[in-house]
A and B are shown apart, each in its own frame.
Chain A
Amino acid sequence: MPKNRHQSLGLTDQDVLNMYETMLLARKVDERMWLLNRAGKIPFVISCQGHEGAQVGAAFALDKTKDYILPYYRDVGVVLHFGMTVKELMLSAFAKAEDPNSGGRQMPGHFGQKKNRIVTGSSPVTTQVPHAAGIALAGKIDKKDFVTFVSFGEGSSNQGDFHEGANFAGVHKLPVILMCENNQYAISVPIQKQLACEKVSDRAAGYGMHGVTVDGNDPLEVYKVVKEARERAVRGEGPTLVETLVHRLTPHSSDDDDRSYRTKEEIEEAKKKDPIYTFASYLKEIGLLTEELEQNMQTKIASIIDEATDYAENAPYAAPEHALKHVYGN
């Protein structure tokens, strides 16, 4: 009998099945968006494929009733767990008025939903790291016990705002979890041309924070380190930099063709470690995920996505003059 790895982490059987279902949902939503894009129905997709294990493992380790998250553009798995619905993601993909992220103003992947404490983001990368420090600082002044979770790619860890924000969080011992989803490519530029140090997590030392690198294909490993990071943050021991090693299973975006900078073999190799399959294998090996259960999940997810797609496709756009609204509040 294979070893049960989740019980010792405090996760129930139902928890891990929920994690798998969220990962699968993120994957299937993403796949549908690519189909819609290739069919000419939506202008742009930027993918979570290959990152779902890291995203969902991390999100489950947070307190979704009070923590603030500052996701980056690939974090479909994170925002789904924090309460954004598939319908809302589809409304964003179709740029419809009802899209809670931006009312159809921003490209897909620019998440934001105040009621779920998903903090609005932009396209210039890593500007959200100082924001995460600022929200954590505000919580400290306001005597609240939430943490902030901020994610980004390894290329983005070169930006000044990563370093300035990490340093501020370190100096003020703020409850911030910085998570890098290191997929080895910043669009086309490989990690060897991005970082002179071996690991992104090596950078933690410069800011007096704990740094750790884990296999991002394994949601349980990610859950464990993010959970520990959250506990440290709540104890007042400051921020943690978590580096998750993942693979980007698609081109950078629907406008990218990755055949010009990486080989087919490399992607085939990465697909063998696809977190959707490896986590499903684990759940099957320990007898939790039966064929019937998996089939039910697939059917349920397909129907949620179908319904969301139809709804979003038929939903109205914002009126043209709505472009003039909400520059200022007064």
Chain B
Amino acid sequence: MPIMSYIEAVTAALREEMERDEKVFLLGEDVGKKGGVFKATQGLYEQFGEERVIDAPLAESAIAGVGIGAAMYGMRPVCEIQFADFIMPAVNQIISEAAKIRYRSNNDWNCPITIRAPFGGGVHGALYHSQSVEAVFANQPGLKIVIPSTPYDVKGLLKAAIRDDDPVLFFEHKRAYRLIKGEVPADDYVLPIGKADVKLEGDDITVITYGLCVHFALQAAERLEKDGISVHLLDLRTVYPLDQEAIIEAASKTGKVLLVTEDNKEGSVMSEVSAIIAEHCLFDLDAPIKRLAGPDVPAMPFAPTMEKFFMMNAEKIEKAMRELAEF
């Protein structure tokens, strides 16, 4: 099976979907000739031409809004927002339009758009090239939000997003782009949106997370294993709507739950995960639910000292895991 980087899996999924269905087209800043600022769309302009790999004017609301129009017509647009931090001008289009089109038209119209955006920190991106923005959208019924952690999941979930009949926000961790590699089947496969994935089966503590933090948690779990502490690790993969069943099952299994996100703590996706566990698993819990998250400051600073302080890593997770195991 070929080994691919996380970003190569993005490109592969886009290429295969464009080859499969001529209604799929790409729209975004620098996605054409340049192949994207991260090179996620490299080679696609040459293969599919400027009519299907469109360099949009620098205006995010139009990137989303034009995509929404095309999707309502019946196309399968994949719009790229260059950095998740820059999605804010498009929030009205995403929340007031894409999320509500099926509902407000009583199922007459729908909006099968995929909006991709690199998010997350640890790349010296400072305040406006590091943010996690999923919580902004994670209480908007009508939207689906996918955040894959592995190249295998990237390909299968991005294909699923493109084929989905409703709007999907697809957030890719930019530090994972070249850091994370893994096996990706060359054949066509899709993974179900809305389903979490058990990465480790364990008995002592449960860790629930998503995105790059899955890898930090795996590293930490490996260290704990040497000391005889067994970790059950759940990768959410879809952060809205949440896979409640999988969350309840994972939390109940060990009764000690650590929730990890790189996002600011208050109002994060993990706050909702915590609420689900509190509602359903109270009598299975052996310790208070613990959230490990970024601090509640506006965003990640530029200086390496402060960036490291904000950013999640395996050491922080390991420390929190040990505390929970000892509780």
Contact = CB atoms under 8 A, between A and B. Distances in A.
Given A112-B109, A120-B109, A164-B62, A134 B103 contact: no
A133 B104 contact: no
B265 interface: no
A134 B69 contact: yes
B103 A326 contact: yes
B67 interface: yes
Nearest to A70: B69
B70 interface: yes
Contact of B66 (A110, A112, A134, A325): A134
A31 B7 CA distance: 59
A142 B52 CA distance: 11
A114 B108 CA distance: 6
A140 B96 CA distance: 26
Contact of A131 (B72, B102, B166): B72
A9 to B, nearest CB: 30
Given A127-B65, A134-B65, A328 B70 contact: no
B100 interface: yes
Interface in A112-130: 112-114, 119-120, 122-124, 127, 129-130
Interface string A122-152: 1110010111111111111110000000000
Contacts of A112: 104-105, 108-109
A328 to B, nearest CB: 5
B106 A103 contact: yes
A103 B104 CA distance: 8
B102 A141 contact: no
Contact of A327 (B51, B59, B108, B141): B141
A140 B164 CA distance: 23
B110 interface: yes
A168 B106 contact: no
10 contacts: A105-B106, A112-B108, A130-B68, A133-B66, A134-B73, A138-B69, A139-B73, A165-B66, A327-B141, A328-B144
Interface of B: 25, 51-52, 54, 56-57, 59, 61-62, 64-75, 77, 89, 92-93, 96-97, 100-110, 141-142, 144, 164-166
